[in-house]
Structure 1
Amino acid sequence: MYSTFHKWRGSLWLAPAVLVLAAFVYLPLAQNFGYSTQRSDIFTGASEFIGMRNFEVLLNDPIFWRSLFNNILYAIVSVICQVGGALVVAAGVESVRSSRLRNALRVTYFIPSAISITVAGLLFYFIYEPNIGILNSALTAIGLEQWAQPWLGQQSTAMLSIIVMSQWQGFGYTALLFTVAIQRIPTELFEAAQLDGIGPIRRFITITVPLVRQMSGLLTIVTISGAFQVFNEVMVMTSGGPSNSTQVLGTWLYRNGFVRNDFGYAAAIATVIFIVTLGIGLFQLWYTRKRKVEL
């Protein structure tokens, strides 16, 4: 009996965590898929089973595809700025000889990440304000008034304006993680390369980039996954407008579920978000295991 208890002791310790996950993660996921096969009214509780009809409507919904495109655009720009750009900045800061200046630069680029995304959205909302906003005022002051425009009020610039704000807010966090990864590289490698007459750009390409590859891969996957869960930025700045040009999957889900009272269709959108993020997560696990085998 003791041996049996000893054999299952680990499972008993894991049981509470498994039960919590089952109650608050897996059960809601299963319920969400069930809701996606229904036409539901969240206020009266009435529901009607309609099978895969919500997914058929979703595939023919131009705003859904627009939302998916915005998420993909958001992911591409985020990878370029928050992974590629942050790596360049982190490497540049770490090459500064003065420790005081390095610390000051780290604090400077990390401060936006300490600001709430809601506060950052409101801040940029006023920066983009067409009449008294800082951006248009600055353009007018330097003689570029022809560039001044309602940044959040027209379809051609609204989504990119939101993305710019988001990159500003999230850039410092990834740069700080790259800083930690760069600090783990043996300094002897940089010193040897410098003695061999290798310039800073080549040192960055041949030493820094390969040796922070694992961190780069992890941050790329995390950044892409986060790009498909964007919500606050859009809701604070445009609420999906103008003319649904800045809708993302999260805001389109919210509008259908809690504004249009079409909870079944909202659940179908949530299922798509889950499938996308699950795929990214599985790729992350595969990539991590592959890197461990290679190392």
Structure 2
Amino acid sequence: MTRRRIRHAFYAAPALALIALFVYYPIVENVRLSLFKFSVFRPGMRYVGLENYRQALQDPVFWHALLNNVFYAVTSVVFQVGAALVLAAVLEELIGRRLRGVLRAVYFIPAAVSMTVAGLLFQFLYQPDAGLVNGALAAVGLDGLQHDWLGDAATSIWGVINMSQWQSFGYTTMLLTVAIQRIPRELYEAATVDGAGRIRTFFNVTVPMVREMTTLLIILTVSGAFLVFNEVMVMTGGGPANSSQVLGTWLYASAFTGDDMGYAAAIGTVIFLITFAAGALQLLHSRRKAVAA
């Protein structure tokens, strides 16, 4: 090993040590704890092997929470990546320069709002009697569509998902706008000379050229969807009747309400495996596309 490589390794060692201590060690320790049954109020730990994972497989609330996370991830990818990319392209290509800056600020403002504040705001909007949503429906003569949005098991999780899209949509739009600005203008000029319309140019130039950013956003969006916690706790607490539980809130309830710490650790391991697999598959798919191109 050359002196230069030794020097580089010396500089990187503190950062690697911190990552190992605060990232990888907790992951390994959580996996170890998931193999035990224990309580914070009683001493001792009982080794049970994979019993906590079998408990998860037989737990209907766990599967419902996982399904809610899947709904959350799919909706977030469609709106926070797909729709945001369309909006970013519109802002860059069709909107005037002055109006473009104003619209960027308008779309980004929700991202600056605290998650707790946003959750409380949408709680007021969804109020069945005095909420703005039901009030707007009544104002346009759609009284039959009025609903207790967060109090109904069929709509509670969707109320939370809608709030999340509202808050994060502008942030991802701004990131994609920056990616579009880095695309060489010559490519758009060449597409125009070849007779390509705006839609064809979008799919043949814009989408391929922002692949790296969209890959990163998909990974972050899917991971965030399976790590979601604050939104659900603030707006519904997982209710009614566990209908809006996600894996994060069910982990919390199992650990601090049910005092089943081993089962909570097993749920945490499942969350890690899902997010790791989703990120790895997306990176692999993106690299294969890049090689094929």
TM-score > 0.5 by shorter chain: yes
Superposed counterparts of 1:133-282, under 5 Å: 133-282=131-280
Is the CA contact (8 Å cut-off) linking 1:113 and 1:170 kept in structure 2? yes
Is the CA contact (8 Å cut-off) linking 2:215 and 2:283 kept in structure 1? no
Q: Which residue of structure 2 aligns with residue 94 of structure 1? A: 92
Q: CA RMSD in A?
A: 2.0
TM-score by length of 1: 0.92
3-state SS, counterpart of residue 86 of structure 2: helix
* Number of residue pairs the alignment of both structures matches: 293
Distance (whole Å) between structure 2 residues aligned to residue 123 and residue 134 of structure 1:
11
3-state SS, counterpart of residue 227 of structure 2: coil
Is the CA contact (8 Å cut-off) linking 1:151 and 1:157 kept in structure 2? yes
Give 2:80's match in structure 1, choosing from 79, 82, 90.
82
TM-score by length of 2: 0.93
Q: 1:197 to 1:290 in 2, by over 3 A?
A: closer
3-state SS, counterpart of residue 150 of structure 2: coil
Which aligned segments of 4 or more residues in structure 1 are displaced greater than 4 angstroms? 3-7, 287-295
Structure 1 position 148, deviation (Å): 0.7
Gaps of 5+ in 2: none
Give 1:67's match in structure 2, choosing from 65, 68, 71.
65
3-state SS, counterpart of residue 266 of structure 2: helix
3-state SS, counterpart of residue 37 of structure 2: strand
* Percentage of matched positions with identical amino acids: 52
3-state SS, counterpart of residue 39 of structure 1: strand
Structure 1 position 284, deviation (Å): 4.6
Q: 1:228 to 1:16 in 2, by over 3 A?
A: same
Structure 1 position 15, deviation (Å): 2.3
Distance (whole Å) between structure 1 residues aligned to residue 287 and residue 188 of structure 2:
29
Distance (whole Å) between structure 2 residues aligned to residue 55 and residue 97 of structure 1:
53
Give 2:124's match in structure 1, choosing from 120, 123, 126.
126
Structure 1 position 210, deviation (Å): 2.1
Is the CA contact (8 Å cut-off) linking 1:254 and 1:266 kept in structure 2? yes
User: Partner letter of residue 154 of structure 2?
Assistant: S
- Deviation sequence 1:247-267 (CA, Å, 0-9, x none): 100000000001111101000
3-state SS, counterpart of residue 155 of structure 1: coil
Gaps of 5+ in 1: none
Distance (whole Å) between structure 1 residues aligned to residue 2 and residue 43 of structure 2:
47
Give 1:24's match in structure 2, choosing from 22, 25, 28.
22
Structure 1 position 57, deviation (Å): 0.7
Distance (whole Å) between structure 2 residues aligned to residue 164 and residue 261 of structure 1:
32
Structure 1 position 54, deviation (Å): 0.7
- Deviation sequence 1:19-52 (CA, Å, 0-9, x none): 2222222222222112111111113343211111
Whether 1:55 aligns to 2:53 is yes
Distance (whole Å) between structure 1 residues aligned to residue 169 and residue 251 of structure 2:
27
- Deviation sequence 1:26-83 (CA, Å, 0-9, x none): 2222221121111111133432111111111111111100011011111111111011
Distance (whole Å) between structure 2 residues aligned to residue 45 and residue 169 of structure 1:
43
Q: Which deviates more, 285-294 or 246-255?
A: 285-294
Is the CA contact (8 Å cut-off) linking 1:214 and 1:291 kept in structure 2? no
Structure 1 position 9, deviation (Å): 3.1
3-state SS, counterpart of residue 151 of structure 1: coil
Q: 1:63 to 1:97 in 2, by over 3 A?
A: closer
Structure 1 position 177, deviation (Å): 1.1
Distance (whole Å) between structure 2 residues aligned to residue 260 and residue 150 of structure 1:
28
Distance (whole Å) between structure 2 residues aligned to residue 7 and residue 89 of structure 1:
45
